Homo-oligomer: A and B are copies of this chain.
Amino acid sequence: MFLSKLFLPILKEVPSEAKIKSHQLMLRTGMIKQSSTGIYSWLPIGFKIMKKIEQIVREEQNKIGAQELLMPTIQSAEIWKESGRYDDYGEEMLRIKDRQNKEMLYGPTNEELITEIFRSSIKSYKSLPQLLYHIQWKFRDELRPRFGIMRCKEFYMKDAYSFDLNDLEAKKSYNKMFFAYLKTFKRLGLTAIPMAADTGPIGGDLSHEFIILADTGESKIYSDKRIFDIDISSYTNQDNSINELRKQYDNFYAVTDEKFNKESFEKKVNKENQIITKGIEVGHIFYFGDKYSKPLKCSVDLQGGKKVDVKMGSYGIGVSRLVGAIIESKFNNNIMKWPHSVSPFDIALIANIKKNDNQTYTKAKKIYDYLIKNNIDVVFDDTEENLSSKFKKFDLLGIPFQIILGSKSTEDKFEFKEIDGETKLLSLEEIKNHLNKIK
């Protein structure tokens, strides 16, 4: 992609309405644009990053055998009345009347609808367990939206639902998701810690929030700091391995404030290991048994003919929010560095092109062509801006690698730089190999 052609409306100033760094950076680098209060359009760079996050979330869901489907954004109020949540759910639910005066709503979550799909599709215990998920826009009519896409009205979320025969099996599904979440966040370059949490309007008695540390986070957390050192890389998605992993986490105290108990905290965590800080919730998982299956009559036939209500859990990841969460975690000292897995481009090609300077342009174009040919997604800054402005711009864009075509390059060696690291002189082949190693 040529920078001159990219739809990238960069702002010169930090917009004053943006209070936290992710909101500031996303507006400044033209990732998003507010269309009305708390509702945003995703411009090409922001969209691309979100799509990459979505794909990683999807792949990790598929790896544990979850199947993707897609429920609509607009739901009928009827099933929410069946479950009893239509009245319970507050004003954050966007209620709509269609032209025939039928009560509809913009789904803030999908427990009811997936239960309705399941009950009319699956009849026998033989078809269990099932894990179903979708990635869909949700709406929450926030009274005071803030922090850009971190607390907005229309947001993109992955929500999965598990269906099992009994508590024991259901816990296995819960643990699978627990595992998939840790893997997902790791691939996104984040250390997200599962913290015992309250279940809120979803309900149930077992719940974890996955939280990354950030000063701007809205979740208060209390934990044993050693929980941050658990290495998940050696675990697999087999039940035994996942059980071991769960035990590792259960060894350490880690809760959100609704679950906080001063006495247990003091007792279970030595002074020097205590952390009391803030974080951003990027995922939340729930086990709630028959809370929805019972009122909605979602049962399966057992071998003898008896019916049993299925045991359910639900599992959310804030896909659009993760874009902001990654920025909160990776944007420091005016330099952003996207994890390579979600970077809008693999590499930036920054050339010092002056007016009527055909030579540098031609050289840069050759490098560009080589990279494209080798399936490396490069953005080429073909503008005539001066180099120092270009560097500042790319510090914000956060593409982790750069080729700089300035005074130090030779005929076949080029300045190659990791955004927060040293510069090396490398050949194109060396650069290609380096990038392929990381992929």
A48–B36 alpha-carbon span in the complex (Å): 33
A260 contacts partner chain B, Cβ-Cβ < 8 Å: no
Decide yes or no: A113 and B35 within 8 Å by CB, A9-B120, A74-B153, A132-B7 being known contacts.
Answer: yes
Residue of A70, A96, A99, A102 most packed against chain B (CB within 10 A) = A70
B96 and A96 within 8 A (CB): yes
B67 and A117 within 8 A (CB): no
B39 and A5 within 8 A (CB): no
A116 contacts partner chain B, Cβ-Cβ < 8 Å: yes
A68 and B40 within 8 A (CB): no
A71 contacts partner chain B, Cβ-Cβ < 8 Å: yes
A153–B100 alpha-carbon span in the complex (Å): 13
Return chain B residues, CB-CB under 8 Å to A7: 67, 69, 121, 130, 132
Closest chain-B Cβ to A33's Cβ sits at a distance in Å of 6
Decide yes or no: A143 and B44 within 8 Å by CB, A7-B121, A72-B35, A154-B73 being known contacts.
Answer: no
A117 and B43 within 8 A (CB): yes
CB-nearest residue of chain B to A96 = B96
Per-residue B-contact encoding for A27-40, CB less than 8 Å = 1, 0 else: 00010010111011
A104 contacts partner chain B, Cβ-Cβ < 8 Å: yes
Per-residue B-contact encoding for A58-78, CB less than 8 Å = 1, 0 else: 000000010111111111101
A74 and B121 within 8 A (CB): no
Closest chain-B Cβ to A25's Cβ sits at a distance in Å of 17
- 8 A Cβ contacts from A254-275 to B: none
A98 contacts partner chain B, Cβ-Cβ < 8 Å: yes
A91 contacts partner chain B, Cβ-Cβ < 8 Å: yes
Return chain B residues, CB-CB under 8 Å to A141: 98-99
- 8 A Cβ contacts from A109-125 to B: 113, 116-117, 120-122
Closest chain-B Cβ to A237's Cβ sits at a distance in Å of 15
A253 contacts partner chain B, Cβ-Cβ < 8 Å: no
A414 contacts partner chain B, Cβ-Cβ < 8 Å: no
A6 contacts partner chain B, Cβ-Cβ < 8 Å: yes
A338 contacts partner chain B, Cβ-Cβ < 8 Å: no
A236 contacts partner chain B, Cβ-Cβ < 8 Å: no
**Copies of the polypeptide in the assembly:** 2
A121 and B30 within 8 A (CB): yes
A348–B100 alpha-carbon span in the complex (Å): 44
CB-nearest residue of chain B to A91 = B99
B69 and A43 within 8 A (CB): yes
Q: Which of B6, B33, B130 meets A67, CB within 8 Å? A: B6
Decide yes or no: A69 and B47 within 8 Å by CB, A33-B117, A74-B106 being known contacts.
Answer: yes
Return chain B residues, CB-CB under 8 Å to A73: 73, 137, 154
CB-nearest residue of chain B to A71 = B41
Return chain B residues, CB-CB under 8 Å to A44: 67-69
A71 and B9 within 8 A (CB): no
A156–B297 alpha-carbon span in the complex (Å): 31
A42 contacts partner chain B, Cβ-Cβ < 8 Å: yes
A94 contacts partner chain B, Cβ-Cβ < 8 Å: yes
A42–B67 alpha-carbon span in the complex (Å): 12
A113 and B5 within 8 A (CB): no
Return chain B residues, CB-CB under 8 Å to A179: none
A139 contacts partner chain B, Cβ-Cβ < 8 Å: yes
Return chain B residues, CB-CB under 8 Å to A67: 6-7, 44
B72 and A154 within 8 A (CB): yes
A122–B41 alpha-carbon span in the complex (Å): 16
Return chain B residues, CB-CB under 8 Å to A37: 102
A352–B91 alpha-carbon span in the complex (Å): 56
Return chain B residues, CB-CB under 8 Å to A33: 117, 120-121
Task: Give me the interface of A with B, judged by CB distance under 8 Å.
Answer: 5-7, 9, 30, 33, 35-37, 39-44, 47-48, 50, 65, 67-76, 78, 91-92, 94, 96, 98-100, 102, 104, 106, 113, 116-117, 120-122, 130, 132, 137, 139, 141, 143, 153-154
6 additional contacts, CB 8 Å, given A44-B69, A99-B141?
A7-B69, A41-B70, A41-B117, A74-B94, A74-B106, A94-B99
Can you give 6 A-B contacts (C-beta < 8 A)? A6-B67, A30-B121, A35-B117, A39-B72, A44-B68, A92-B99
